[in-house]
Amino acid sequence: MRKHGVYNSICDVKGILVGHFTDDAILSGVTVIIAEHNAIGGVDVRGSAPGTWETDLLNSINLIDQINAVTLTGNSVYGLDSGVGVRKWLTEKGYGYPIGTLKVPIAPGAVIFDLNRGKTKEHLNIESGYKACQNAISGKITEGNIGAGTGAVSGGLKGGVGTASEVLENGITVGAIAVINSAGKIFYPETGAIYARHLELGNEFGKLKSNIILGTPTYSIPTSIGANTTIGVIATDAKLTKTQSNKIAQMAHDGIARAIYPCHTMGDGDTIFVMATGEKNLSNDKILREITLLGSVAADVFARAIVKGVLAADSVGKYKSYKDSYPDSFEN
């Protein structure tokens, strides 16, 4: 019997904290994922329009393997400033890679494109990332219109932040957090049927009906190609190498493919990071099987986080939510 963790969030992985900063006027924000005791990092970039930093550092042949945090932000290239605020907070708290007497914080990140969706055209800044860190907590995380998902739009409807987890039979936990701003849809347009509906654990999707998808979905590509992207983090308490973390990041992209149609488009910058805290060892004699299992579960968990994020989103201005657009998809 497959089951999610206590909070059904990425924070079910011990030592992982999540903080949000939300600006409703700009209609954008920042979500930061912090590893209290550092984590082995990995990343895989599949979209053709990514906005990222320090991803090359996580290449398996390069020096650094431990990271302190991952920054997920809105505001496109202007959101890069929020990463400076995250590094400022990490420095003050003593996080970082030791170089002599210094500690240099390692906090890669990625952006979504949500420009000009709010009431003002101001931008996120250093303080935005700093405040997200100040707000970091463990446990139950708010989903929907918050943090980096504040101005997200998915397949023409309101997107947002979603999170999920799964606890494996061997006791290892896999969690995910996703920011869904995709060009593709998570639902069959004619009926509202959710593509990844079958992956639900428990009743995490609420009163969503088990709609049947009839026929092959029609392509629906927005005219504003480039104004999209799904980004997120997979966290696990398994002890992984950097190479293994990169492999799991690669496999986790299958979760985007299970939940969003189409995905990894020319207009998306789809990027998934991995943070492995290393609390639980894998079996050396079954390592290939266990890495494969972790990657497969990571894909499912990420897909569920995507669905939860869109279902939790509320309508904002001209951007209608899924629940307002397809009210008949829910039981009374």
Q: What does the pLDDT read at residue 86?
A: 98
Please tell me the distance from the alpha carbon of residue 175 to that of residue 327, in angstroms, as a whole number.
Answer: 29
Strand partners, 30: 21, 73
Q: List the domain boundaries for the chain.
A: 10-322
- Could you tell me which CATH class the domain 10-322 is placed in? alpha beta
Q: What does the pLDDT read at residue 212?
A: 64
Task: Estimate to the nearest angstrom the gap between the alpha carbon of 289 and the chain centroid.
Answer: 25
The model's confidence at residue 190, banded by pLDDT at 50, 70 and 90, is confident
Say yes or no to pLDDT of 287 above 70. Answer: yes
Please tell me the distance from the alpha carbon of residue 71 to that of residue 108, in angstroms, as a whole number.
Answer: 6
Q: What does the pLDDT read at residue 62?
A: 95
What does the pLDDT look like over 65-106, one tens digit per residue? 999 999 999 999 999 999 999 999 999 999 999 999 999 999
The model's confidence at residue 216, banded by pLDDT at 50, 70 and 90, is confident
Please tell me the distance from the alpha carbon of residue 276 to that of residue 16, in angstroms, as a whole number.
Answer: 10
Decide if 208 contacts 330 (C-beta within 8 A). yes
Among 161, 136, 141, 134, which Cα is nearest to 5's? 141
Average pLDDT over residues 128-152: 97
Mean residue pLDDT of the chain comes to: 94
CA gyration radius for the chain? 18
CB atoms within 10 A of CB 105: 19
Q: What does the pLDDT read at residue 209?
A: 83
The model's confidence at residue 242, banded by pLDDT at 50, 70 and 90, is very high
Q: Is residue 277 packed enough to be buried (19+ CB in 10 Å), middle (13-18) or exposed (0-12)?
A: buried
Q: Is residue 24 packed enough to be buried (19+ CB in 10 Å), middle (13-18) or exposed (0-12)?
A: middle
Percentage of the chain modeled with pLDDT above 70 = 96
Please tell me the distance from the alpha carbon of residue 288 to that of residue 110, in angstroms, as a whole number.
Answer: 29
Tokens of 3: 């089951």
| Largest CA-CA distance found in the chain, in angstroms, rounded | 62
The model's confidence at residue 222, banded by pLDDT at 50, 70 and 90, is low
Decide if 266 contacts 49 (C-beta within 8 A). yes
Decide if 25 contacts 118 (C-beta within 8 A). yes
CB atoms within 10 A of CB 170: 12
109-111/66-73 β-pairing: parallel
Among 4, 9, 8, which Cα is nearest to 177's? 9
